[in-house]
Structure 1
Amino acid sequence: MRKILVVGAGQSGLQLALGLQSHGYEVTLMSNRTADEIRSGRVMSTQCMFHTALQHERDLQLNFWESQAPKIEGLGVSVAAPGSWAEGPAARAIDWVGKLDGYAQSVDQRVKMAGWMETFAQRGGQLVIHGAAVSDLDYFSRTYDLVLVSAGKGELVSMFGRDASRSPYGEPQRALAVSYVHGLGPRPEHPDYDAVRCNLVPGVGELFIMPTLTTSGRADILFWEGIPGGPLDVFNGVKDPAEHLSLTLELMERFTPWEYARATKVELTDGGGTLVGRYAPTVRNPVGRLPGGGLVLGVADVVVANDPITGQGSNSASKCAASYLASILERGEKEFDEEWMRGTFDRYWDAAQHVTKWTNAMLAPPPEHILNLIGAAGQLQPAADRFANAFNDPADFENFFYEPGKTAAYLASLS
């Protein structure tokens, strides 16, 4: 029986550990926190998973919360009229919603990771609660057939060098601020179904709102992405959760009053329901070399970390785990050497490159043809639906998004 060590208990690490476990591998999982510490801790993300990523969980029978989590049937876009907030609350220039072919869902990672970790242990997996250092991996690499690093922060990431050719940004492009709330009203445009709402405020940033399942039941996530140094970049140093929410709502009232109108009675889900941060989008070399000469393979956002502006983090983590699982199963009893590691990453990069290209494009000011596309989707429902479903399959953006000629041809085909 082949022995595999997975370091990091997030979406990718746990999904991969449970998948390998189900195929008879002897798996050890290292986490720096227990399931109870995760469940009672601070929120970790703004996950919204679309059909393909959800299907990977179903395939492994890990979709434990599917019947409880809200079914997200649409994805809406609103754009504030540039500068309209100068004299008072902003006005909307664009507003539409596209319908998803297969519903999306969001489960608070405190719920999912704690539940999956307990399942892994119940199924006989070796769970080690310990924050791993490079020196630990140096030792473990000699006793395991394969070491996978899926812990996306801290010392371990430094083993994987930045790939400058695939990482155009050296600095964070957004300041992030998250609030999990109860009491948000429905959007009046579609009160009978749930949708992720993407609110774009040109030159300022974005507000994303998504329904989720948290530790206390149904909730919604309010997620500001502010251009650094701009009017949304005001959360750094805010420690009090109530102050964080108050600031979130003040900014909504000014820049997205149509969303603020349904948020006047919200309250935080719990004391750990806020999060702030910022990081530079980075692609890294997938193979880390340990001081003793051993090799480790980076997983998901260890090697491909995108800004959350396109909502792809947990989707990419799920897709990476599924791709790596297939590569490991196909390898059989052969050595997990450097050539195999690079080939395994390249297989994942075939899909991940589309996410990176799209996300980096969305961080930049939109060119005229993309503004035309987003505007036209308000009159052309097929365009709204296609844009929404490309969140599930970002490769489709190649066909109608990046090049003005392809965008114009696509819109002409609809009219």
Structure 2
Amino acid sequence: MRKVLIVGAGQSGLQIALGLQSHGYEVTLMSNRTADEIRSGRVMSTQCMFHTALQHERDLELNFWENQAPRIAGLGVSVAAPDSSRAVDWVGRLDGFAQSVDQRVKMAGWMETFAQRGGQVVIHGAAVGDLDYFSRTYDLVLVAAGKGELVSMFERDASRSVFDAPQRALAVAYVHGLGPRPEHPDFDAVRCNLVPGVGELFVMPTFTNTGRADILFWEGVPGGPLDAFKGVKDPSEHLALTLELMEKFVPWEYARATKVELTDANGTLAGRYAPTVRKPIGRLPGGGAVLGVADVVVANDPITGQGSNSASKCAASYLSAIVEHGDRPFDEAWMQSAFDRYWDTAQHVVKWTNAMLGVPPEHVLNLIGAAGQSQPVADRFANGFNDPADFENFFYDPEKTAAYLESVQTAA
């Protein structure tokens, strides 16, 4: 029986742990918090998982909350005009529904399931020295803890990292009491509100400890008017600031948020980080090697909503690579090949996310505008969130964009 140690109990770490467990591996999971501490702690993220990522969970029969979480049928884009009206407003329909489950709910539930199925859970904040010791007793060590000392073991890949500083200041609030969008009161959609030169507000339906809720998520250009949450510790002050900025910059979203309240005292989060791609192999002082997982090695800004999707896809890719490898040693060549396989998917997310962080070129503005006039364009853009590789066909290159829009017009 092969022994695997997974450090980190997030989307990717737990998904791999439960997947390997189902294949008969002896898996140990290290987490710096218990399931109860996760469940009752601060919100960890925003997350909206699209069809492919959700299917990876279904394949492992881990979709425990599928019947409780809102079914997100669309993805809408609004662009604010200088007078705070909407210059653009449309919603694309998704081919397969998306869902968001508060990671406090999901990670606590998955960790308890892993333990109930016989998995060993070690509650301990791991340091490099700990891994040096453990690497001698396990066939493979995976590092899936995207923050803290362990990340420093993985060298920044300068050739794949466009930025060396945060590109957005992030502020999240989980709320009850948000009204429906009057444009589509009959179905749930994620709404992406773009305020040129200022930042973005994302609104997404979710499922949390207290049932159905919505996430209000500001992404502010650093130094701009949305970069206002540093030092705000009080949750009610955080929500008040969120709403004040909504009223100023996206009044059409504020109109349905006048009666919201926080889901709980831990329902807010603020911070920032630089999008970074790192080399996948971490080398230990004693000579051992460990493999980085998901956002340890590919950390994108959340502007394209890909974090949990990428974590699920990375976990599925690594799981296949481990199982297919049989009883051969997990050497550095295998580690690099496992990462390269994941990079085939991840590179499209990195390219698209970095593009969305910049000032959109004219042809992209034309594309977003055209989606307001053409449902097929809106639908294709929306479904790119599930499969970012498709953006290669119509998004980056002005000639491809023009040819695509012309083909849609011709078909109409």
Normalised TM-score (structure 2): 0.99
Letter in 1 for 2:41: G
Candidates 74, 85, 100, aligned match of 1:91: 85
Deviation, 1:349, is 0.1
* In 2, Cα distance between equivalents of 1:80 and 1:3: 53
Deviation, 1:393, is 0.1
* In 2, Cα distance between equivalents of 1:224 and 1:126: 38
* In 2, Cα distance between equivalents of 1:170 and 1:35: 34
- 1:389-400 equivalent positions in 2, closer than 5 A: 389-400=383-394
Residue 116 in structure 1 maps to residue 117 in structure 2: no
Matched with 1:342 is: 336
Deviation, 1:5, is 0.1
Deviation, 1:253, is 0.3
Matched with 1:320 is: 314
Letter in 2 for 1:410: Y
Matched with 1:68 is: 68
* In 2, Cα distance between equivalents of 1:142 and 1:47: 36
Candidates 278, 283, 287, aligned match of 2:277: 283
* In 2, Cα distance between equivalents of 1:148 and 1:392: 26
Matched with 1:42 is: 42
Matched with 1:153 is: 147
Matched with 1:293 is: 287
Deviation, 1:404, is 0.1
Matched with 1:130 is: 124
Deviation, 1:115, is 0.1
Matched with 1:227 is: 221
Matched with 1:23 is: 23
Deviation, 1:165, is 0.5
SS of the aligned residue for 2:93 comes to: strand
Matched with 1:163 is: 157
Matched with 1:356 is: 350
Letter in 2 for 1:60: L
Deviation, 1:187, is 0.2
* In 2, Cα distance between equivalents of 1:159 and 1:334: 25
* In 2, Cα distance between equivalents of 1:371 and 1:52: 27
* In 2, Cα distance between equivalents of 1:232 and 1:210: 19
Letter in 2 for 1:151: A
Deviation, 1:289, is 0.2
* In 2, Cα distance between equivalents of 1:413 and 1:250: 43
Deviation, 1:372, is 0.2
Matched with 2:183 is: 189
* In 2, Cα distance between equivalents of 1:271 and 1:308: 23
Normalised TM-score (structure 1): 0.98
SS of the aligned residue for 1:166 comes to: coil
Cα deviation per residue 1:132-182 (whole Å; 9 max; x = unaligned)? 000000000000000000000000000000000000100000000000000
SS of the aligned residue for 1:164 comes to: coil
* In 2, Cα distance between equivalents of 1:248 and 1:286: 37
- Where structure 2 has 5 or more consecutive residues not aligned to the other structure, the ranges are none
* In 2, Cα distance between equivalents of 1:168 and 1:102: 32
Matched with 2:166 is: 172
Deviation, 1:364, is 0.2
What is the RMSD of the two structures over their aligned residues, measured on CA atoms? 0.3
Candidates 285, 300, 308, aligned match of 2:302: 308
Deviation, 1:405, is 0.1
Letter in 1 for 2:6: V
Residue 215 in structure 1 maps to residue 192 in structure 2: no
* In 1, Cα distance between equivalents of 2:406 and 2:374: 11
Residue 370 in structure 1 maps to residue 328 in structure 2: no
* In 2, Cα distance between equivalents of 1:99 and 1:234: 34
Deviation, 1:221, is 0.0
Deviation, 1:403, is 0.2
Matched with 1:87 is: none
Letter in 1 for 2:284: L
Matched with 1:237 is: 231
- Where structure 1 has 5 or more consecutive residues not aligned to the other structure, the ranges are 85-89
Matched with 1:414 is: 408
Aligned residues: 409
Matched with 1:52 is: 52
Letter in 1 for 2:76: G
